[in-house]
Amino acid sequence: MVPLMGGTLLTSILSGQLASRTGKYKRFPIIGTIIVTVALFLISRMTAETHALAVASYMLLLGLGLGFVMQVLIIAVQNAVDYRDLGVATSNAILFRFIGGSLGTALLGAILAKQLTINLQHVERTQAFAASLSTVFLVASAIAFFGLIFALLLPERPLRETIAAAAETDIGGEIAQTFSMPADTDSRAQLLRGLAILADRDVRRRYISAIVTRAQVDLSPNAAWLLVQIEREPRVDVHELCRRGKCDATKIQAATAELLNKSLIEPASIANVYELTGAGCEMYNRLVAARREHLAELWPEWSPKKREEVAEILRRLARELIPETG
């Protein structure tokens, strides 16, 4: 069981990360069902003499295939419905997974009992049990092949950025939700959570470069980040900002020097504390505008009747995250 669960955990994390980064998720259920089909077929060929290492390898392969399917199908379901229906869609997906597991266990258990009864009349007990299990896994392999056909028919829609952000930051959340207490399914709470995750990822990681490019400012991403932080937290030591942001001290020194050389900041009365100049305020506002444009690109993700509510949330969130400087 250890190889099975280890493989499932590994590819669940990997598929969720890759789906969020690429925006493509259909390939993973296809890859997963192919691997599961092959693994179940290999398991069906095992005998009582099969080496334990081969058994562990087949179980690991099965776990790898399951991991590619489990996480991404939840992402696909959440991506296909409106935000107000996220809770219902997620719970239904988990419910039908339980129903499928129960029906599958009952079906394969019945096949095992029937085959075992027949095989015990012709061979010894151990061999009869092994032969019966082979039949069970062969049937399971055929069922997995039909799953591959359904995976090929799965429509792939553009992945919402908030769903992608949740998939990347909430690793293993889908597995935890299977046995979790009922959660708040309010669409406003879900929306704010997704946008908060996205906003944090924007500021602290690769989206900074995209915002700098959109704003058409001559700044490195590190300098742009520092400029925003100085405006947000005036009279705070830049080394403290570096510690909070978990950034490299050498990079923060280079960013400070860049802002000073471009006259965007000036030293305050306290050591290592800086203030924005007039040019720095103008640069900051350009970054603010670019960031708001980026948030506004989330607009098509909601239906027209929800857009008035979404617009108000975006305006409030934008004011809270980066207020316009005077």
Residue 204 domain flag? yes
Dump pLDDT digits (tens) for 47-85.
878 888 999 999 999 999 999 988 888 888 888 887 777
Q: Report pLDDT digits (tens) over 203-229.
A: 455 667 778 888 888 888 888 888 888
pTM for the model: 0.56
Range of the domain at 219: 187-321
Query: What pLDDT is recorded for position 172?
Result: 42
H-helix or E-strand spanning residue 275:
strand 274-276
Q: Do 173 and 195 lie in a common domain?
A: no
Residue 326 domain-assigned (yes or no): no
Residues 220 and 108 in one domain: no
pLDDT tens for the chain, 326 residues long, are 788 888 888 998 888 878 877 778 889 999 999 999 999 999 999 887 888 899 999 999 999 999 998 888 888 888 888 777 778 888 888 899 899 889 999 999 999 999 988 888 887 888 888 888 899 999 999 999 999 998 898 888 777 655 555 555 444 444 344 333 344 445 555 555 555 555 554 445 566 777 888 888 888 888 888 888 888 877 788 878 777 766 777 888 888 899 999 999 888 888 888 889 999 898 888 888 887 777 666 555 555 666 666 666 666 655 555 544 44
Query: Is the four-CA dihedral 226, 227, 231, 237 of positive or negative sign?
Result: positive
Q: In terms of domains, do 203 and 280 share one?
A: yes
Same-domain pairing of 209 and 167: no
Residue 15 sits in a domain whose CATH number is 1.20.1250.20
Distance (Å, whole) CA 144 – CA 40:
8
Q: Residue 245's closest CA among 295, 287, 200?
A: 200
Residues 89 and 131 placed together within one structural domain of the fold: yes
User: Measuring CA to CA, which residue among 63, 69, 66, 39 is closest to residue 151?
Assistant: 69
Is the four-CA dihedral 215, 216, 220, 224 of positive or negative sign?
A: negative
Q: How far is CA 183 from CA 76, 85, 113, 195, in A?
A: 20, 13, 40, 18
Does residue 275 form part of some domain?
yes
Instruction: Identify the three-state secondary structure at position 297.
Output: coil
pLDDT (0 to 100) of residue 60:
93
Residues 194 and 165 occupy one common structural domain? no
Residue finishing a domain among 177, 211, 237: 177
Whether 18 and 151 map to the same domain: the answer is: yes
Same domain, 221 and 173: no
User: Quick one: tokens of 69?
Assistant: 């399917």
With beta carbons less than 8 A apart as the criterion, state whether 314 and 231 touch. Answer: no
What is d(CA 261, CA 275) in angstroms, rounded to the nearest whole number? 14
Q: Does residue 182 belong to any structural domain of this protein?
A: no
CATH of the domain at 238: 1.10.10.10
